Structure 1
Amino acid sequence: MKTMQVREAKASFSALVEAAENGEPTIITKHGKPAAAVVPIEEARKLYPDRNDAFIDFLLKYPGGIELERDQSILRDFDF
């Protein structure tokens, strides 16, 4: 796995993306400490699966509606 500083990563971002497309992850460091990683999309999807469908399923399974009432009282006075 390749490692490079933020400055280098900015200058060669296209090369980082191309390396990720070819299956090669890259660690990006900031002040000598790992800060981020550019990884192939397949690896990213394993780490962060698409959760949109799960949230929709959750909403559809919710047993009841939520009833909210708006406070109709007059707000405080203010000057511009």
Structure 2
Amino acid sequence: MKELQLRDAKATLSAVIDQAVAGEPTVITRHGRKEAVLLSFEEWQRISRVPDFADLLLAFPGQPEDIPERTRKPARALRDTSL
């Protein structure tokens, strides 16, 4: 990943964006400290997406028989309600 000082990133912003779209993110530094990352919108969407439960189930690498069978017993009472 490429690093650029903020002033250089400002001066060449169009080229930095073109590189990000091409798949090369850039770390922006200010006073020698890493402050931000410029990456493509598509890459940002990919890494910031939180999968829903259905996506996780569909991505499960095992077989259906690897999942333990669900018990059919009713849950036990947490306290005696006849008190």
Task: Answer yes or no: same fold by TM over 0.5.
Answer: yes
Taking only the aligned residue pairs, the percentage that are identical comes to: 43
Q: Which residue of 2 aligns with 1:29?
A: 29
- Paired amino acid for 1:43: E
Q: How many angstroms apart in 1 are the aligned matches of 2:30 and 2:46?
A: 25
> 1:5 — aligned with what?
5
Uncovered stretches (5+) of structure 2, i.e. residues with no partner: 50-83
Computing the radius of gyration from Cα coordinates, the structure with the larger value is: 2
Per-residue Cα deviation, 1:10-55 (whole angstroms, up to 9, x for no partner) = 0000001100111100000011010001112222102334xxxxxx
Compute the TM-score of the two structures, normalised by the length of structure 2.
0.55
Distance in 1 between residues matched to 2:48 and 2:13, nearest whole Å: 22
Per the normalisation by structure 1, the TM-score is: 0.57
1:45 matched residue in structure 2: 45
Q: In the TM superposition, what is the alpha-carbon distance from 1:9 to its structure 2 partner?
A: 0.4
1: CA distance, partners of 2:40 / 2:22? 8
- Structure 1 runs (4+) greater than 4 angstroms displaced: none
Structure 1: gaps (5+ residues): 50-80
